[in-house]
Amino acid sequence: MSVEWQETFNVSRETYDDLTRYAELVGRWTQKINLISKASLQDIWQRHIWDSAQIYDLGEPKGTWLDIGSGGGFPGIVVAIMAKRDNPARKVVLVESDQRKAAFLRTVIRELQLNASVEATRIEALDPAGATVVSARALASLSQLLGFADRHLQKGGSAIFMKGAQWQNELSEAQSAWSFDHQAHTSQTDPTAAVLLIKGIHRA
Ligand SMILES: C[S@@+](CC[C@H](N)C(=O)[O-])C[C@H]1O[C@@H](n2cnc3c(N)ncnc32)[C@H](O)[C@@H]1O
């Protein structure tokens, strides 16, 4: 893969090599299980890796980062790879209910020696995690995600949700059930999409 991505992410050679190795593993396993669509494999750096990397600096640098519905590891594995040298104490917990995807995530963690672990269960079954950051991409409506974040974030923690073109509608709907502070960052990979940074969640 071209070195221009290393410059886009402003990461070390070692981190870039880990991202490259991860992209290779996703490509290999996607032949067997549906980690990402085969059509998006050729765009994996833009559609998945860069899309995930853009949220890395939004989360508090301490404590547990809980990524829900991680699938093939977006954004959670990318966050763990970026933290490996930048912030080795950062722990990432990936929640994925599909056992085959969970097995893939464990393989990546082992091969790249990441400070991360997998909970192969539904998020609804997980005890409160006391996380400082909760993230999710392509999992559920914003209202549902706020319920998960409310349960699993510690006081003062942040939720980072990656939303598509309908994000403003989802925000309006969520505001009828929940009270929270938010910042909407236009996605670096899709001008119609947004990264929502949310704090102070409680029921309206
Ligand atoms: C559409 S995929 C998105 C995967 C990844 N976040 C991404 O953006 O590429 C949703 C993933 O969430 C998992 N999932 C769905 N409901 C879940 C739940 N309640 N708890 C944990 N994982 C769940 C599915 O197995 C699937 O891998």
The residues facing 131 across adjacent strands are 153
**Is the minimum distance from the CB of 35 to ligand 1 under 6 angstroms?**
no
Ligand 1 atom nearest to CA at 136: 6
**Is the minimum distance from the CB of 17 to ligand 1 under 6 angstroms?**
no
Tokens of 49: 């890796």
Closest C-alpha to 86, from 157, 11, 16: 11
The CA 178 to ligand 1 mean position distance, Å, reads 23
Predicted local confidence at residue 10, as pLDDT = 81
Predicted local confidence at residue 2, as pLDDT = 55
Q: What domain count does the chain have? A: 1
Predicted local confidence at residue 1, as pLDDT = 46
Record the pTM: 0.97
Annotated binding-site members: 69, 74, 123-124, 137
Ligand 1 atom nearest to CA at 101: 27
Mutate to test the pocket of ligand 1, among 43, 139, 162 (most ligand atoms within 8 A of CB): 139
Mutate to test the pocket of ligand 1, among 30, 51, 96, 163 (most ligand atoms within 8 A of CB): 96
Structural domain for 113, as ranges:
4-203
- Ordered DSSP codes for 135-204: EEESSS-HHHHHHHHHHHEEEEEEEEEEE-TTHHHHHHHHHHHEEEEEEEEEPSS-TT-EEEEEEEEEE-
Instruction: Report, as ranges of residue numbers, the positions in the chain whose pLDDT lies below 70.
Output: 1-3
Closest C-alpha to 164, from 133, 131, 186, 179: 186
Q: Which residue minimizes the CA distance to atom 27 of ligand 1?
A: 71
Predicted local confidence at residue 11, as pLDDT = 87
% of the chain with per-residue pLDDT over 70: 99
Query: Residue 37: which CATH number?
Result: 3.40.50.150
The CA 12 to ligand 1 mean position distance, Å, reads 30
